[in-house]
Amino acid sequence: MKNKFLYTTTCVLAAISLAACEPAVMKQEMDYSAANLNGFSQTTNDRLDSAAKQAARDGNITEAFHHYQKLYQNDARNPDTALAFAQVLRQMDNPDRAIIVLAPYIDIKEKKDGTYITAENPDILLEYAASTLAVGRYERAEMLLQELLRTPEGMELAPQAHNLIGISLDARGMHEQAEPYYRESIEIWVGNAVNPMNNLGLNLAHQGYFDEALTTLRQALVLEPSNQKVAANIDLVSDLKSSVSGRSAPTALK
């Protein structure tokens, strides 16, 4: 995928000329001060980035948000910073702002012969689609994710893309169509596929396949015993199995 946005920095020459007799030491001091200022700014950003990543690893999303917000204010043109900030915003249930943060790195053109999408990188397109899904624009999110899957660069993100397409289809009540996307996501997932396994379990419960749903959810819990969402969904589906016959549509924790 070709980059759509190429950011260039234009140096503006100051219209201030120094007198010919200016001591050389003055210019050296000015350059030294500028270097110090730039170094201080970079050091501050590096510290913010490290602190934000550590907070995210610790599960402290609020702290990560504050660090990434400061970092974004200092370095808004950095696509990596924008991506990290948008991810935290979505986790804090603010996908609308996440979309705004990522918008400069996405270009979507609607034409008579189709929709053309270019993005700074596949990760940004994936997060933009996830945020679009989070605001309820399901068909648009699916279109973005299908576009991602059509690109060689985006194939590494295929497990996450398939999982998100499944979530979108489920949200539209298209449970049978969503199921194969979850299964494909689990098949190609790198590491513990707890997230798509949880979603597949809920999807099967929506279709009334309670035994298979519980088996899938319990397998996910074995992989991640501390996952409270999966544990809660096991209880939910167990209750439904006891009280409901046929197909049902439980409110689940995804």
What pLDDT score does 23 carry?
A: 42
Q: Quote the mean pLDDT of the chain.
A: 81
Which percentage of the chain shows pLDDT scores above 90? 56
Q: What is the 3-state secondary structure (H, E, C) of 68-127?
A: HHHHHHHCCCCHHHHHHHHHHHHHCCCHHHHHHHHHHHEEEEEECCEEEEEECCHHHHHH
Domain boundaries, given as residue ranges, for the chain: 96-190, 191-254
- For range 193-201, the mean pLDDT: 97
- For range 2-24, the mean pLDDT: 35
pLDDT in tens, 36-73: 444 446 687 778 778 877 877 777 888 888 888 888 88
Give the whole-angstrom CA distance, residue 192 versus residue 196.
Answer: 10
pTM of the model: 0.76
Amino acid at 229: K
pLDDT in tens, 83-119: 999 999 999 999 999 999 999 999 988 777 777 888 8
Domain 96-190 has CATH 1.25.40.10: yes
With bands split at pLDDT 50, 70 and 90, how would you rate the model's confidence at 176? very high
